[in-house]
Chains A and B, each alone.
Chain A
Amino acid sequence: MFQILNTFLIGITSGSIYALMAISMVLVWRSTRVVNFAQAGMALLSTYFGYEVVNRFDSYWLALPVAMISGAVVAAFIELVFMRVLLKHSNSGPIASIAPIIATLGLLGLIKAFIGFFWGNQDVNIESPLSTVGFSIGTQTLSLSPMKLLILIAVSMLLLVLTFVFQKTNIGLALRASAYAPEISRLAGIKVDLVRTFGWALAGAAGGAAGMLQTANGNGALSPDSLEFSLLLAFGFIAAVIGGLDSLLGAVFGALLLGLVLAFVLTYVGGSLVFITAFVLLLVVLIVRPAGLISQKAGRRA
């Protein structure tokens, strides 16, 4: 019984970090119809900025918002000077539909090389701001440490803020309108290009938060070839696809589901099956419900 609870806690915590990554994939997909594989690199770069802050000011609390802001700036920059030009020039021809995806892969390599150049290829470390030792109940130790609790609270707050922005503000309405119908939105007077850049910036901020929290949740090590970040990208992407790639709610749901399934597989089946499970889950969803488990199209009539 206690083991089930602990497995659940581990799953929910990692799932909530995947949720941030999944959300950043969805935001980019919704605003530019690009699957952004550079997101791992962008999150990594933001986390390195966070690392610099931790290093200089010894404050994780300052580093977290700095990582998010720098993530937003980097993403906005990439959308403005890189993706916008690319999408304009690759709108015809046989590779038009895959050119942007390939480009994001190239970008991923570029960002990693950039990080290696500035920070070196060895591990650097971000120490957890809070204890990673689980609370204990009697003689048992719960898989919920102050750090994990922080992650759950931080992600919940970010999700609440994001929901508020999307549902209750003008920029949120502009983001949704531009995602669903760019042409109608332009005719209504929305500066869709600007809104796209903002969508990327939000995605960058979510990625930065994911990177900082993931690093503090793991062993704190950071390197250009970080396996953790590659996994974060893979799991974030899978979660986004499970959720339908178009839905923020779906992304969160997919991420929590994925986190839980993987945690239970890890505890009760074995570590070697974790990746296989993740990809089998992806394939099953793609085959059975290609529009995602939470499909927004369901309520859509012609």
Chain B
Amino acid sequence: MSLRIENLSVHHGAIHAVNDISFTVPKGQLAALIGANGAGKTTLLRTLSGLTKSSHGTAHWNSLNLLQSKPENSVRNGVSHVSEGKSVIPELTVEENLEIGALWRRNRKEMIESKKSVIEIFPRLGERLSQRADTLSGGERQMLALSRSLMSKPELLLLDEPSLGLAPLVVEQIFQSIRELTTSMGITVLLVEQNAMGALKIADVGIVLNLGKVAVSGSASTLMADPQVRAAYLGY
């Protein structure tokens, strides 16, 4: 049971955005994927969820061939991707944003149960169920995007920069919730982050991308101690 990526390459026209990447994330671990702007992090996640076509290599979640599976089918197999930016639908209410994550299960009862359990994790959403999503603050929207994803009961979560544009205190909160998901619910997480320090602090393993290639990888604590990584990516 793991996320396995082997020799994966992705092109945007002539740009080789993901260049021969290989790594494995064992089940139940939180992996931080860090790297500078344009390193290929978003491209990698979009390829794993089936939004972008790969040009070479393989990627599997357990026995599911991620590169052959459309996003709407990957969700049905336990893989959920929260895309970059505050990934909510502003015209819908908070409750509707939650519900769309569980429509595919066609089970009213399970939907209500899932809603209850995500509201337990993020009580602020519970107080705002009938509000339109565009009335939420940035942090609340990020919580909503994460909750929508949880509504589909994922086993593997692909998160693209959940800390984007949030105040430090809110970032802390979101990171703690993500850590909780792995620890208490056993969800495997691939967390893409610009906030390298914050991400490595909560992660089990870290992968540093540079110009589409894996520059360094290893346990999160090793990476944080590595002087080269500190200088290049952690800024001290």
A interface, CB within 8 angstroms of B: 170, 173-174, 176-177, 180-181, 183-192, 296, 299-301
Contacts and interface: CB of A to CB of B under 8 A. Distances in A.
Given A188-B101, A189-B76, A296-B91, A173 B96 contact: yes
Interface in B65-88: 70-72, 75-76, 80-83, 87-88
B145 to A, nearest CB: 9
Nearest to B83: A187
Nearest to A191: B72
A300 B100 contact: no
Contacts of A174: 100, 103
Contacts of B100: 173-174, 177, 185, 188-190
B103 A188 contact: yes
Contact of B103 (A170, A184, A301): A170
B104 to A, nearest CB: 4
A187 B92 contact: no
A191 B49 CA distance: 14
Closest 7 CB pairs of A and B: A189-B75, A189-B104, A188-B100, A186-B71, A181-B89, A177-B100, A188-B101
B109 interface: no
A184 B104 contact: no
How many chain B residues sit at the interface, stated as a range, is 20 to 34
Interface of B: 49, 51, 70-72, 75-76, 80-83, 87-92, 96, 99-104, 106, 132, 134, 148-149, 152
A196 to B, nearest CB: 13
Contacts of B75: 187-189
Contacts of A192: 72
Contacts of A191: 72, 104
8 contacts: A176-B91, A176-B92, A177-B96, A184-B89, A186-B70, A187-B51, A192-B72, A296-B91
A185 B96 CA distance: 12
B125 to A, nearest CB: 16
A185 B104 CA distance: 11
Nearest to B80: A187
* Chain A binding surface SS class: helix
Contacts of B106: 170
A300 B90 contact: yes
A184 B83 contact: yes
Contacts of B87: 184, 187
B92 A177 contact: yes
B96 A188 contact: no
B76 A300 contact: no
B134 A300 contact: yes
Most chain A CB neighbours (cut-off 10 Å) among B88, B90, B91, B100: B100
B90 A187 contact: no
A299 B75 CA distance: 31
A180 B96 contact: no
Nearest to A192: B72
Contacts of A299: 132, 134
Contacts of A184: 83, 87-89
Contacts of B152: 188-189
Contacts of A186: 51, 70-72
Given A174-B103, A301-B134, A190 B92 contact: no
Contacts of B99: 170, 173
A188 B148 contact: yes
A194 to B, nearest CB: 9
Contact of B104 (A181, A190, A296, A300): A190
Given A174-B103, A187-B49, A189-B101, 4 more contacts: A170-B99, A187-B83, A188-B75, A189-B103
B134 to A, nearest CB: 5
Contact of B91 (A180, A185, A189): A180
A173 B103 contact: yes
Contacts of A170: 99, 103, 106
Contacts of B92: 173, 176-177, 180
A185 to B, nearest CB: 7
A173 B98 CA distance: 11
Contacts of B72: 186, 189-192
Contacts of A176: 91-92, 96
A178 to B, nearest CB: 9
A177 to B, nearest CB: 5
A232 to B, nearest CB: 29
Nearest to B104: A189
A279 to B, nearest CB: 31
Contacts of B103: 170, 173-174, 188-190
Contacts of B76: 189
